[in-house]
A and B are shown apart, each in its own frame.
Chain A
Amino acid sequence: MDFDFSDDAKALREQARKFFDERAGPAVARASMNGTASFDAALWQAVVDLGWTAARVPEAHGGVGMSSEAACVLAEEAGRSLAPIPLAQALAATEALIALGTPEQQARWLPGIADGSVVAVTGWAEGGTASPAKASAKVDGGAINGTKSPIADLAAATMAIVSAAGPDGPALYIVDLKGEGVGVAPVDTLDLVRRHGTLTLSGAAADPLGTTAGYHDWLDRAAILGSFEAMGTATAAMDMAVAYAKERTAFGQKIGRYQGIKHKCADMYIKLELARAHALHAAWAMEAGAAELRQAASAARVASLDALAFAAEENVQIHGGIGFTWESDCQFYYRRNRALVAALGSRNFWADRLVRSLEQRNAAAA
């Protein structure tokens, strides 16, 4: 057993961390919040130039052909740095194309994703339901109708991979956002840094990407990337809280000396490491195509959302009054926590999915 990323993935993580430490982080997130641009175009270009959108793309399509571990470490660093760019989205879309795309679909889209001429997003959420069975977006005879909202980074995107009800059940479809019957509008959300949009589809051309089984497989993969992103964001919130606990004095002592604070910090770490164990297991299952994929992905998703909610909420608390101000960076994590829930479904949806997968496994073993 080797319960760790490959040296290649670790080297990429170090590079990404160093780059984002210099070029992203809360100050850049704040500038993005205060600005009108829907994302940081210069930062995005730098990321494309570094080859990170190409990391996962096979060499035959102009990419580097790294394993899915590369996507995991990039998602984590993007989450940690709050970088206002559509990287997490590009990674999830790339994963769908690699796992489910026909050679033609891959040849059409992957080279553009690798060189940055295509900005790809995924759209799963639909308002108040996490249930694919209740999705309003429907495909009939190659045309898609319905509304997908909110979609992160939609304004930046040129193509979207969306889930919709197809003839045989939920499935993924590629929509060229430059095509007919496509409406894109901004939508306000609790996250003021990452911009979201509403995609209105009225008879747009929908290119089927895989089957219903493929859709479920992708959802698990996207959840794994989302878990790494959430862990990155949670780590940043924890680091901020721990640093403050070491620095702030009350009653003649560093507040980190009080167990009320110390134990909160320890609990942040405990929740994160539990999530990390599941996320690493899931990352392995994704790369190996292991049968445990569903259960590992679902567990990683639930555990990482819990870790993030706790770190984000208690980071504000540990900061006291200053943590509740607009000027404090605490709000970024508190708000992003809600964005990551909305993107791929709440812990309710994933806890249910986890238990269902355990039931199926038990039934199969019986």
Chain B
Amino acid sequence: MDFNDTPDDAEYRAKARAWLATAAADYRDPPARPVSRGENVPESRKWQKIKHAAGYTGITWPKAFGGQGLSPMHSIIFNQEQSKYHAPTELFAIGLGMCIPTVFTHGSPALIERYVAKALEGEEVWCQLFSEPSAGSDLAGIRTKAVRDGDDWVIDGQKVWTTNAHLSDFGIIVTRTDPSAPKHKGLTMFIVDMHAPGVEARPLKQMSGGSDFNEVFFTGVRVSDSHRLGAVGDGWKVSLTTLMNERLAVGGKPGHAPGYRDLMALAARIETDMGPAIEARDVRQRIAVTYIADEGIRLTQMRALSALSKGEAPGPEQSISKVVVAKTMQEMAAFALDLSEASGFTTAGGDPGLHKLQGSYMASAGLRIAGGTDEILRNIIAERVLGLPGDMRPDKDTPFNEIRAA
């Protein structure tokens, strides 16, 4: 075991660090005011292109797909170094983290040729069209249908909570192609052009105020059969590739979300009746608990990556990430706001550190739901990792069109 960079890793890190020092110089400070993702599209594109030209995109992807063919360790090293800056990266996280890996795992050579490079160089933005109003956790319950018509499929239905749909050029969409098959069996995945006639993305406002997610309506949208990912009826299997990648991509703490360091800094500034907050036992406990969670997840991810880099399959430990990260964010933010008393409640003026914690208190509520809820992730750990018996699934083997409407 060795927690230090190998000589090769260290060399890569030094190179990346030196490159970022000039290339990312504009992103050294956080933006002066919060910028919405919509406003940030040109800047996000620009940064992606700069990285692409310098060989810092698709770090782990095969060279044949336009990637660098390096190890996951290189990717994490670059991300560590990049996260010291405030460069705009969220716009491509879903596309490059989930959608494109699904395309190159299940798409035809022609699809890979057409889409992968464009996504990688920041030319095209992608979204993940899975959840529907009546099917989120129970993804296999989706109703959006695709019906074969000659060389095309015609899609009708509605998706919801689709992050970045309003900014996207393409999406991967799970559809029901055989309603007479049991729910997991009649699904098929496609690439859909978000600018095609019949696609309408309507932004939804989040509890926290921003509008990053959407409801998306599909009315008679034609998709060529050549844009199918995987076999007809294999949509469930294909979606598992996306979800596995999602858990890797969203498992960690969102970039720049406050962590134990922010709590330490805050506690150092606060004077209580009984002296500096940082000296109080309960505050030190909370800092410790937050450190254990934040750093524990970072180390767990390194563990998985180190297995990958040795050509081994990472263990199931990765599945703990998001449950830990999201709830820790919420608990830490609530604790910090309590500690700040009424200052933790007013949002105007004042302390930027506090505003970040307020934002985290709001955002963490969504993070506990997005990409698999706390409850679903615990079920996965209990059932798939620990082998506990699954819940009763009364509708699992029933043809979808015979399941009683809920």
**Which residues in A have some Cβ–Cβ distance to B below 8 Å?**
125-131, 133-134, 149-150, 187-191, 196, 249-253, 258, 260-261, 309, 313, 316-317, 320-321, 323-328, 330-331, 334, 338-339, 341-343, 345-349, 352
Q: Nearest CB to that of A248 among chain B residues?
A: B406
- Residue contact B394 to A347, C-beta cutoff 8 Å: no
CB distance from A19 to the nearest CB of B (A): 29
CB of B300 within 8 A of chain A? no
What are 25 contact pairs spanning A and B, CB under 8 A? A126-B342, A129-B271, A134-B271, A188-B346, A189-B345, A190-B347, A190-B358, A196-B346, A249-B134, A249-B406, A250-B135, A250-B141, A251-B138, A252-B395, A258-B375, A316-B207, A316-B369, A321-B136, A327-B204, A330-B207, A334-B365, A338-B344, A341-B338, A348-B338, A352-B273
CA distance A332 to B134 in the complex (A): 24
Complex interface: chain B residues within 8 A of A249 (CB):
134, 406
CA distance A127 to B346 in the complex (A): 8
Bitwise, B266-294 to A at CB < 8 A (1) or not (0) is 00001111100000001000000000000
Q: Which positions 80-118 of chain B face chain A at CB distance < 8 Å?
A: none
- Residue contact B373 to A331, C-beta cutoff 8 Å: no
Q: Nearest CB to that of B183 among chain A residues?
A: A252
Q: Nearest CB to that of B343 among chain A residues?
A: A128
Question: Number of residues in B with C-beta < 8 Å to the partner?
Answer: 56
| Residue from A191, A196, A260, A320 in contact with B379 in the complex, judged by beta carbons closer than 8 Å | A260
- Residue contact B341 to A128, C-beta cutoff 8 Å: yes
Q: Nearest CB to that of A134 among chain B residues?
A: B271
Complex interface: chain B residues within 8 A of A258 (CB):
375, 391
- Residue contact A346 to B341, C-beta cutoff 8 Å: yes
- Residue contact A129 to B341, C-beta cutoff 8 Å: yes
**Given contact pairs A320-B373, A327-B205, A331-B207, A253 touches B392 in the complex (Cβ within 8 A):** yes
CA distance A313 to B362 in the complex (A): 10
- Residue contact A133 to B205, C-beta cutoff 8 Å: no
**Given contact pairs A127-B341, A251-B395, A342-B345, A326 touches B205 in the complex (Cβ within 8 A):** yes
Complex interface: chain A residues within 8 A of B368 (CB):
316-317
- Residue contact B342 to A150, C-beta cutoff 8 Å: yes
CA distance A352 to B275 in the complex (A): 13
Complex interface: chain B residues within 8 A of A149 (CB):
342, 346
Complex interface: chain A residues within 8 A of B348 (CB):
187-188
CB distance from B277 to the nearest CB of A (A): 9
Most B CB atoms within 10 A — which of A149, A189, A345?
Answer: A189
Q: Nearest CB to that of A324 among chain B residues?
A: B366
Q: Nearest CB to that of A254 among chain B residues?
A: B406
CA distance A252 to B395 in the complex (A): 5
Q: What are the nearest 6 A-B pairs in CB distance?
A: A252-B395, A249-B406, A326-B205, A342-B345, A125-B342, A128-B343
CB of B380 within 8 A of chain A? no
Complex interface: chain A residues within 8 A of B205 (CB):
325-327
CB of B40 within 8 A of chain A? no
Bitwise, B345-360 to A at CB < 8 A (1) or not (0) is 1111000000000100
**Given contact pairs A313-B330, A313-B365, A150 touches B346 in the complex (Cβ within 8 A):** yes
CA distance A27 to B160 in the complex (A): 24
| Residue from A190, A261, A330, A345 in contact with B341 in the complex, judged by beta carbons closer than 8 Å | A345
- Residue contact B136 to A320, C-beta cutoff 8 Å: yes
CB distance from A191 to the nearest CB of B (A): 8
CA distance A357 to B277 in the complex (A): 22
Complex interface: chain B residues within 8 A of A250 (CB):
135-138, 141
